[in-house]
Amino acid sequence: MDSEDEPRDNESAGDGDFCSDDGIADYDYGDADFPESQEIVSPLKQNYTILSEADIRQRQEEDITQICAILSVSRSAACSLLCHYKWNVSKVQDEWFANEENVCKVVGLLHNLVNTSNSRKLNCGICFESYDRSKMSAASCGHYFCNACWKVGLQNVPRSLELPSLIAQIKWCPSPGCEFAVDFDINSISYDVCCYCSHSFCWNCIEEVHRPVDCGTVAKWIIKNNAESENTNWILVNSKPCPKCKRPIEKNQGCMHMTCRAPCKFEFCWLCLGAWSEHGAKTGGFYSCNGYETARRDGMYDESEKRRKRAKFSLERYTHYYERWATNESSRKKALEDLHIMQTNKLEKLSLRQGQSEAQLKFIIDAWLQIVECRRVLKWTYAYGYYLPEHDDTKRQFFEYLQGEAEFGLERLHQCAEKELQEFLDADTPMKGFDNFRVKLTRLTSVTHNYFENLVQALERGLMDVDSSDPQSSCKSYSSSSPGNMPGKMKSSKATEADDPS
């Protein structure tokens, strides 16, 4: 934010017509000269496997069968061993062969079954009543209990249990109704996961995908958006308490004569908060207050005014970032809707009119997928910017420059994928310029992807490319390669968590 009253709006960078009729000549993508230290960043490799319930059951069966075969134990014993050792087959085998007796003791397995008498009646170990053997049942350990106690136990005990997550690297997709799980490589550098149900989420915190901000920043941002702190700041900035009942009152127009609502109905001066009965023509009339002006000059209202100014600055700053965060989320959802329409309706029409298969038109879907992803990244850059330290002007200036360039490039891609494509959708016959359009949109998609990936990495690593002695030099070093000549791999960090202004 450049100042208290005029926070910088990077979205203004995207107001122009970014896709000219001259193709891509004005936006030199293809001939970008990347220095060795700025090579293009390749996409992250998929570091997870999506599993269905059937896949999970198959894995369980394979592990149970393996333990049964190697250790020569029953199926139930194999399940107990795997549950105790977090379903780690190697761990079970190592511990078993190191000290079988100790493992059985720890897990609760018996070497020998409990010997029971051959009498027709047995005592239940729970209710201590005697029953015919036909009314008793035993588990694999050999302990007999009456069928009535078994029934009560099977009905009540599971309700009091909390099932642990036995396998740390496998989690269920958090999307409502989804039946897929994710087997994650815990050594991966990225937590981003996209399930088969199309829901993308962070494997670490289960919130939506949120690169470039870390999970802690996301948690703080969500709490702040749901908290009452900004409502309190708004009330402090835009209202004053009634001197009698303390109810907050907002003055939106008119004179300084205020009347509180029933049942209070206290009349007072908006400026000095004194009783209106003590005011008149001699004190300044209806539109000023001599007493307030005198007290203000004497410094009586200095502290309260400072407090109001701090609250106003905090509120305006939060509003600046929140509105742009929310706007990009709305744009992302709209892009998702447009993508769905393109896949289910427009792509088939375009295929017929241009005489090309839908597989040949995949570059259009790729462009829309990139738009959706870029909107998500831009959304979270505003949460990142909110928590950048206010005193670090160098990083803030560099961050706003990178953010503005990202929005500039995204608007070009969006404009091309939406408006320029519409010309071909409206045409009744194949148009000659479609191949040129394909080249342009494909290059725009690739260049935008590279720039946003570099932006994300720069923010995740803390904007380490900033020249603290000359912030302008850092911007200039990228101006030749962004967004047209996109920067490559940039040194970059997590947003430093400054004290929350509110």
Residue where the block lists tokens 């109810």: 247
Output phi, psi for 259, to 5 deg: -130, 120
* Residue from 68, 104, 255, 260 carrying the catalytic annotation: 255
Amino acid (one-letter) located at 295: A
Ordered per-residue pLDDT tens for the chain, 502 residues: 333 333 334 333 333 333 333 333 343 433 333 333 333 334 456 788 899 999 989 999 999 999 999 998 889 889 989 988 988 899 999 999 999 889 988 988 876 666 666 777 888 888 989 888 888 888 767 788 999 999 888 887 766 655 566 677 788 899 998 999 998 887 777 888 888 888 889 988 989 999 999 999 999 998 888 875 566 666 666 678 888 887 888 777 678 788 888 888 888 887 777 788 787 766 666 666 766 666 666 656 556 677 777 777 888 888 888 889 989 999 999 999 999 999 999 998 898 888 888 899 999 999 999 999 999 999 999 999 999 988 888 888 889 999 999 999 999 999 999 999 988 988 888 888 899 999 999 999 999 999 998 899 889 888 887 755 455 555 555 554 555 444 333 333 334 344 444 4
Contact 382/326 with Cβ under 8 angstroms? Answer: no
Prediction pTM value: 0.63
Active-site residue, 178 included: no
Domains, the chain, ordered by start: 10-41+313-479 (1.20.120), 59-161 (no CATH), 242-300 (no CATH)
Closest alpha carbon to 157 in 167, 171, 145: 145
Q: Which residues contact 201 (CB under 8 A, 6 or more apart)?
A: 173, 174, 175, 193, 195, 207, 208, 209
* DSSP E strand boundaries for 78-237: 121-123, 130-132, 136-138, 144-146, 170-172, 181-184, 192-194, 200-202
Contact 83/109 with Cβ under 8 angstroms? Answer: no
